[in-house]
Structure 1
Amino acid sequence: MGALDASDASVLDPRRRTLSTILVCVMAVLAVRLFWLQVVRHEHFAKLSYSNQLQRERIPAPRGIIRARYGEKLVANTPVYQISVLPNRASRRRELLALACGWLRLDPAKVESDLDAWMKRYADGREMTVVQAANKEQISVLRENRELLSFFRLAMRPRRFFPEGALGAHLFGYVGEVTDQEIGGSGGLERGDIIGRTGLEAAYEKYLRGVDGIRIVGISVEGQQVGEISGLMDGDEIERLGGARPSVPGCDVYLTIDLALQRAAEEAFQWERGALVAMDPRTGEILAMVSRPAYDPNMFIEGLSGDRWRELFDDPARPMFNRTVQAAYPPASTFKSVTAYAALVNGCITEHAYQRPCLGGLLFGNRYFRCWQAKGHGSLALAGALIQSCDTYFYQLGEKLEVDDLAAAARLFGFGRKTGIDLPSEVAGVVPDRAYLDRRFGKRGWTKGLMLNFSIGQGEILTTPVQLCAFTARVANGGKRVEPHVVKEIIGAGGETAFRPDVSAKPDPSIDRRALEIVRGALRGVVENERGTGRAAAIPNVAVAGKTGTAQNPHGEDHALFVAYAPAEDPTICLAIVMENAGHGGSMAAPIARRVLAAYFAEPEGPIAPSAVATAGRR
């Protein structure tokens, strides 16, 4: 028995030694690993543990300021409270989230649906904006229930503000929150982002929109923010969370708008519907721009209800419609300058030749085309016909001109195509030529009688107020091409020039300077001559040239039009005015031009002579 025990012990000893050796080796490996993890890599894992309590937070960049030509703020930023949801915490408290949505006047189903989609898109727990500009009631709810509703975050953010209210509203445009379709595209837009929707806000979005920043914040075990993390993580670890960087504000956009003149134009244009455009004919700089009816874009600060949106867009007056670039009207008698030019360059008339006398109209075929002056104007040459706006004279030019010749002259002065102004949604207008008429009426479906209407700016011819102003500028500057624009310069956040347009006037060799000078001389007489239809636009000490127009409107009262430039000998400003359903251009639109020009030249308006109203007639 003893011998067996000794034998067994001799067999077991090597096994014990082997197991002991293995155990010692394992313990040594574990000890080395623990030493590596707890001592050598202690700092790394401490940081890693800390980073698991961090959250990436976006710092919205303020949009750039829109300023008038001398630096006055036209569109700025104002602080508002934005409500966001912290997805990771909110997703675990769905019942409370739904209750809170009710308190905040939010749709619980939509918030939950958006939250689910957000968490699938962004797994890093970044907050989701649910209210762009909180009202007092919503702010009060969150502050009074801060502990209970810890998954909501209330933060101050910059929001668009318009110091001048409705002034220039259509020009500046408005901003809005991105849609689901716009999120996640190449532009890097996220829910809650604000982008330009109309006007300059949309046209210059890439300049006005800044670059959002990123900050890394610490989160306590209760889920509350404990402050911004700085200096505790190296670059690689911060990059793992999306990177930390300061926000960069958008560029400041300086406009060509003269704020004093804009105010004067807004005050002068006291009419329900229409538009006014003032421009420097030497450069194409827009000095003032008015569209009626207007709206106050500050109403967008707290957001609009669906009912209010529908009310605005269903309004028959169309207050959101920028009539300066989107509305097309017959140019009426303002177009007679083009007809006169076309007749001169095509050899249909000479400067001093008289046409058949005006006896109140013209019989063409079996149709009688009436002149606005029922008793007639008698025998007139070109200057007298423009000064008195005699329809009968221009009917006769329509008889002599070919439709394509008139269309070519109209296009030469910018009709029928977009001006290229730096605003969205501009329309081109219409200049009918033979091809257009053949398409619309068929090759045998129209007659020469249409040319009589075209010759006085009626019929299918359509133009926008900005196009009408660009045409007037080309007449005023002797035929040079200038491109209307509203942005003078864009300055980056660092003070650098980000954009400056080309404002040089480009001579056009295709313009017949002699014919244009004949027309220019007559347009001065429209305002200065005792028989001129535009005498109501005259101001002391400044020579004004212009042309009245009254556009026939089959749907109601006629539209009143007036174009002008001054000083007549060396113009620095030109105007185009359209007043819907206002009646006669000479008696309604010309006095508005007078007030704007008086403000521009700092001259007293002076009284309008009774004879000026009388000669304004219906044109």
Structure 2
Amino acid sequence: AEHSDAFSGVTVETRTVRDYPFGALCAHALGYTGTPSEDQVSNAPSNRDIQLTDDVGKSGIESAYDNLLAGDHGQRVVTVDAQGNVVDVVSETKATRGSDVYLTIKGSVQYAADEALASLIAPGDGVIGTGKGVGGAVVAMDVRDGSIIALSSYPTFDPTNWVGGLSTEANNVYNSDSAHAPLQNRVTAGLYAAASTFKPFTGLAGLEYGFAEGRSWDCTGKWDGFNTGSPQWCWNHNGHGYLDFRGGIVNSCDVVFYEIAKNFFYASKSQGGNLSDTAIQEMVQRFDFGKKAGIDIGGEVEGLVPTPEWKATRWRNVPANATWTGGDYTNMIIGQGDVQVTPIQVAAAYGGIATGKIMKPHLLKEVRNASGQKVVSYEPEVVTEPDVDQRYLEIVRDALRGVVTENEGIASLFAESGIKAAGKTGTAEHTDKGDDAWFVCYAPYDDPKYVVATVIEQGGGGSAVAAPVGAKVMEAVMAADAGSNDASSMGRIAGSSGRQIEGFSTKSASRSD
């Protein structure tokens, strides 16, 4: 620039360089950037000038807050000679940098979640089949204000691959069947049967309508309350013996919930009773299942709480399958059948049980302009306060505390750290693949601050597989809460290798909660 006369036709420009020192850490929350599409250029917001040479956000925070992160190009009006050389600058507007977006994510917790999933699922150089399951998700949230402390989805991707444009080789890896959808954010877009994590919510319906409190049931391991000749099984085929409602949650006994479902069925209007055919669904919908949780990144899905009306529409061309039956009640009440939830919904809903309020989850903490001044601070938003009797909430909270303290394996996970947690396991069955493992917990039990929801696709039992991951992440959460958010303990997280052991199968023989 100082000797421009010696370098005719050469200009000096300042360019940005993207660097991801921790690789795939927090990849699904951060997202990635890329060349804008023609639609993005032609339909840019009124306050934004997008050019084909720009990088724009394509997913995650990069996309959600692209307008804040992007600056202005600036403009220079010049005169040139006949050869095209600049001879004079008529006017110039300097380019300006965008704002800085600060997130609620805590690095040490995010690393603990990302590392725990990778170590469990693909410990052998990122190859699926060397561990347990084929994918998974963990989300940690502050139940007091909805702040997302960690959002982890596995398999994951390395945003570095998008710098300069995604190569054909990387694109093929990410879209191969053996890679198991590393671009999918399983926290917000992964749909799963809720399994036994649903029981606290359906159990609240049982309490409200008088089908649970003060009763006891005998679990023999199988149940045929509708006399069909085809019994449904409890996950414990040997049976739990006599249990009350609390014992039903602590031991995750399916038979207890089959009995509650039977009461709802026979009391429903379709069977000549006075109770709504959707009484159970209406309770779980108070906790916003079947709705988007509202997190501030795109791609979130709604999930499904099945109803008689939904089933009639779903099977309108097969009338024999369109009737809502007692079996639909017993499947739904234990979170099986057609129930579909996302990890972010489950985390928010358990926050509702813990505190009586469901907060809108968010990743944005604050925005600062180019001068470093804070121009936006996120204001916590209460989405809803479920209309549930406080006494019934206390009954369920006590049972969830019992899950953690009275099940030896889970109790040992929290004993060393001294965390007073409450939680619930779940194991979702499939007919054609392995079980999904669930574990949800919140802590401290007597003064709830955080919730952690974990799911491992085709990983096996909730207690054995998901609970250790959830407990490890909760330990990192509480350590960060105590002031330890040490970046020196963080390492690089690898993106998907796209590989799976040939012939790998997760099909499991039986369910265990």
TM-score if structure 2 supplies the norm length?
0.81
CA contact (8 A) 2:303 2:340 kept: yes
Q: Give the counterpart letter for 1:362 in structure 2.
A: W
User: Which residue, out of 390, 411, 428, partners 1:535?
Assistant: 411
Pairing partner for 2:16 from 142, 158, 161: 158
Q: Equivalents in 1 of 2:102, 2:366: separation in Å?
A: 5
Would you say how many aligned residue pairs link Structure 1 and Structure 2?
Answer: 442
Letter of the structure 2 residue corresponding to residue 366 of structure 1: G
- 1:341 paired with 2:199, answer no
1:401 Cα deviation after fit: 2.1
For 1:398, the aligned partner's letter is A
For residues 213-612 of structure 1, what are the structure 2 equivalents within 5 Å? Answer: 213-216=74-77, 219=80, 222-224=83-85, 229=89, 233=90, 238=91, 244-269=92-117, 270=119, 271=121, 272-316=134-178, 317-350=180-213, 352-355=214-217, 357-363=218-224, 364=226, 365-402=228-265, 403-442=277-316, 445-477=323-355, 479-505=356-382, 508=385, 510-529=387-406, 531=407, 534-539=410-415, 540-602=417-479
Structure 2 unmatched ranges of 5 or more = 1-6, 122-133, 266-276, 485-510
Distance 1:255 1:373 in 2: 43
Partner residue of 1:44?
A: none
Q: How far is 1:267 from its partner?
A: 2.0
1:173 aligns with 2:35: no
Which letter maps to 1:182?
Q
1:212 alignment partner, SS class? coil
Structure 1, residues 410-450: CA drift from partner, whole Å, max 9, x if none? 11112100000001010000001221122123575331111
| CA drift at 1:220 | 6.2
Give the number of the structure whose alpha-carbon radius of gyration is greater.
1
| Matched AA of 1:195 | V
Instruction: Give the residue type in structure 2 aligned to 1:170.
Output: H
Query: Equivalents in 2 of 1:178, 1:499: separation in Å?
Result: 26
Aligned ranges for residues 5-154 of structure 1 at < 5 Å? none
Partner Cα distance (2:168, 2:362) in 1: 34
Distance 1:467 1:506 in 2: 12
CA offset at residue 221 of structure 1? 5.9
Aligned to 1:63: none
Q: Using a 3 Å threshold, how does the CA distance of structure 1 residues 446 and 184 change in structure 2: closer, same or farther?
A: closer
Aligned equivalents of 1:304, 1:502: Cα separation in 2:
36
- Aligned-residue sequence identity (percent) comes to 36
Q: 8 Å contact 1:534–1:546 — kept in the other structure?
A: no
Pair 1:331–1:536, CA change in 2 (3 A): farther
Q: Which moved more, 1:260-269 or 1:154-163?
A: 154-163
How far apart are the structure 1 equivalents of 2:70 and 2:175? 27
Q: Is the 8 A contact 2:308 2:324 kept in 1?
A: no
Q: Cα deviations across residues 370-412 of structure 1 (Å, max 9, x unaligned)?
A: 0111110001001111111111111111111255111111111
Please, what TM-score do these two structures have when normalized by structure 1? 0.68
Change (3 A) 1:373 1:434: same
**Which residue number corresponds to residue 30 of structure 1?**
none
Q: Deviations over 1:276-319 (max 9, x none)?
A: 00001111110001000011101111322345324423445111
Task: Report the Cα offset of residue 366 of structure 1.
Answer: 2.5
- Point out the more displaced range, 544-553 or 360-369: 360-369
CA distance in 2, matches of 1:330, 1:221: 70
Superposed displacement of residue 528, structure 1: 0.3
Distance 2:42 2:306 in 1: 45
| Deviations 1:3-52 (CA, angstroms, capped at 9, x unpaired) | xxxxxxxxxxxxxxxxxxxxxxxxxxxxxxxxxxxxxxxxxxxxxxxxxx
**Cα contact 2:357–2:384 (8 A) shared by 1:** yes
Distance in 1 (alpha carbons) for counterparts of 2:313 and 2:68: 43
Matched AA of 1:164: F
Amino acid corresponding to residue 172 of structure 1 in structure 2: L
Contact 1:420 1:484 in 2 (8 A): yes
Q: Give the AA of the match of 1:485.
A: H
SS of structure 1 residue aligned to 2:191: coil
1:108-148 CA distance string (max 9 Å, x none): xxxxxxxxxxxxxxxxxxxxxxxxxxxxxxxxxxxxxx98x
Please state how far the C-alpha of 1:598 moved relative to its aligned partner: 2.1
Which residue in the other structure is 1:28 paired with? none
Q: Distance in 2 between matches of 1:463 and 1:509?
A: 18
1:544 Cα deviation (Å)? 1.0
| d(CA) in 2 for partners of 1:436, 1:533 | 39
| Structure 1 SS opposite 2:440 | strand
Give 1:534 deviation, angstroms: 3.6
| Partner of residue 273, structure 2 | none
Worse-matched range after superposition: 205-214 or 425-434: 205-214
Structure 1: distance between partners of 2:450 and 2:419: 12
Check conservation: 1:333, 1:389, Cα contact below 8 A: yes
Deviations along 1:437-489, whole A, 9 cap, x unmatched? 22123575331111111111001000001111111111111x21210111111
Q: Does 1:618 align with 2:494?
A: no
Separation in 2, partners of 1:185, 1:414:
33
Partners of 2:432 and 2:16 in 1: CA distance? 45
- Secondary structure class of the residue paired with 1:248: coil
Give the conservation status (yes or no) of the 8 Å contact 1:274–1:580.
Answer: yes
Query: In structure 2, how many angstroms separate the alpha carbons of the residues matched to 1:372 and 1:154?
Result: 69
CA contact (8 A) 1:537 1:544 kept: no
Q: State the shift of 1:536 in Å.
A: 4.9
Q: Once structures 1 and 2 are overlaid, which stretch shifts more, 492-501 or 206-215?
A: 492-501
Alignment of 1:185-224 (within 5 A): 185-187=43-45, 188-216=49-77, 219=80, 222-224=83-85
State the AA in 1 paired with 2:341: T
**Does structure 1 retain, via aligned residues, the 8 Å contact 2:222–2:233?**
yes
Compare relative contact order (CA 8 Å, sep 6+) and give the higher one, 1 or 2: 2
1:472, 1:575 within 8 Å by CA — same for their partners in 2?
no
Give the gaps of 5 or more residues in structure 1: 1-145, 239-243, 605-616
Q: Indicate the larger mover: 206-215 or 502-511.
A: 502-511
| Residues 267 and 618 of structure 1: CA distance in aligned 2, closer, same or farther (over 3 Å) | same
Distance in 2, matches of 1:432 and 1:303, equals: 42
Give the Cα separation in 2 of the matches to 1:421 and 1:200: 11
Alpha-carbon separation, structure 1, partners of 2:220 and 2:15: 70
* Kept after mapping to 2: 8 A contact 1:325/1:425: yes
SS of 1:157's equivalent in the other structure is: coil
